[in-house]
Structure 1
């Protein structure tokens, strides 16, 4: 008895028309080529996918995160408040503009000046001796005060303390006069506070405290009260050379005058008075 499987196959294929052998072979070859092409394309795609993944893994930029949708209107930026806006307590002074309320029209006067002192610390030329105050034949030879003509210069011949006679000095001025037979030098100094009176005290201390180092030398006060607020006349004898100085104070000014001649106190008094009168041009204390 034939196998049932073959019986079924015979029944199903009894009426089929079979293609020629050559045609079946050609179709088989075409199917084989299509299968190879599809497989090749699949390999190319797989390689491209792997390469793209490698590039991304090697440090490619991350995609930007999506922007979330807006949930409302943005908050407006507040406008700056003007610096001159009025406050609860009143209108303030605008920023950067200093208040001028109560500003004096002129700077305040310097404090610490002596009572009756000059408001100008410079010494005017009118406060110095003039040619009209001197005997005929003198001429003005300038204001150079160089040289060892002052009382301070003789202190090198004295033992003991020699205090400064220009305490609190704030200004000075000089004048020199010459004649064919004589000469005269004046130095006027202005002193702060009460230092002009102190300067006169220092002159007295210097003279009375001097102890001449050589026998025969001397330094002494030979007259006082010649003119002005204070005055004195000093005489020295150093190695046989005679010198005389007049010291006159008016207010905060002190004049020291060297006399080449050797006048007596009475002869020196007219000079002292002229010095005092001229000093009044530089101080309101007269």
Structure 2
């Protein structure tokens, strides 16, 4: 006689109807597929959350929205959105000139138009060459360091040097040397047209400053002899004499320290060469 628990189990299951074996197997396979799909979706959610957090930390931007999971069963493909035709974009005028097209006009708020090349860069051809100087001078690079500039002379001779309000757009320099002679140094700067004019006016104003030393002085010894504007300025540093030449063509201004070249005729000739050279960097001439 079977044990009592087995007897009760036999009585409870004697009249049950068991599903066919193949049907039981199919139910098992479906349960396995659902489990795998749920696990795969969970992995996708985890990756999306990690990526969202990384983007938020890196760029401070909002993360991507968390995907909504289906409650049960395998995911149903979403219907493809119907593409909406976008409006044809309106062309925006480019700030860069199109080849063959005329240059764009300056902004109404930019003041007077600037006369010069389309690029602020100054070409090498706009600077003096050794052949323009007296015999014996050779090109010696473009290092403009040193106390040669007109600004230095003004700071030495003036109690309070007037400030130049014009802002340069580009600069390029050249140095020429000769044995047993002071160098000739040129700096060419590009401004707006009004800024270039203001630079020449500023240099003249500086020569009228209040002297800081009794034996020092700045004075204009010649003007209006080359280009669109020119000045030849004498600097007397307590008996040490030097000359600075300013020449303007359009929006370009050349400042040339002549050093010991004190001959006015030679200075005028060099000023004319500088003015001619400046024409390679501006369309004002």
What TM-score do you get using the length of structure 2 for normalisation? 0.63
5+ long unaligned stretches in structure 1? 1-76, 85-90, 94-98
Offset at 1:130?
0.7
Task: Find the partner of 1:102 among 83, 91, 112.
Answer: 91
Instruction: Summarize the Cα distance change of 1:250–1:152 in structure 2 as closer, same or farther, 3 Å threshold.
Output: same
Alignment of 1:177-196 (within 5 A): 177-182=176-181, 183-196=183-196
Instruction: Summarize the Cα distance change of 1:115–1:155 in structure 2 as closer, same or farther, 3 Å threshold.
Output: closer
Instruction: Summarize the Cα distance change of 1:137–1:198 in structure 2 as closer, same or farther, 3 Å threshold.
Output: same
What TM-score do you get using the length of structure 1 for normalisation? 0.63
Q: Which runs of 4+ in 1 moved over 4 A?
A: 77-81, 103-106
Per-residue CA distance 1:95-114 (angstroms, 9 max, x = gap): xxxx4553558745483473
**Structure label with greater radius of gyration:** 1
Instruction: Summarize the Cα distance change of 1:114–1:168 in structure 2 as closer, same or farther, 3 Å threshold.
Output: farther
RMSD: 2.6
> Counterpart in 2 of 1:204?
204
CA distance in 2, matches of 1:116, 1:132: 28
2:270 paired with 1:281: no
CA distance in 2, matches of 1:150, 1:144: 13
CA distance in 1, matches of 2:196, 2:82: 59
CA distance in 2, matches of 1:186, 1:262: 14
> Counterpart in 1 of 2:37?
none
SS at match of 1:118: coil
Offset at 1:273?
0.1
CA distance in 2, matches of 1:262, 1:135: 9
> Counterpart in 2 of 1:248?
247
> Counterpart in 2 of 1:119?
118
Name whichever of 245-254 and 234-243 sits farther off: 234-243
Instruction: Summarize the Cα distance change of 1:110–1:173 in structure 2 as closer, same or farther, 3 Å threshold.
Output: farther
SS at match of 2:169: strand
CA distance in 1, matches of 2:158, 2:91: 59
Q: What is the number of equivalent residue pairs in this alignment?
A: 199
Offset at 1:189?
0.4
5+ long unaligned stretches in structure 2? 1-76, 98-103
> Counterpart in 2 of 1:142?
141
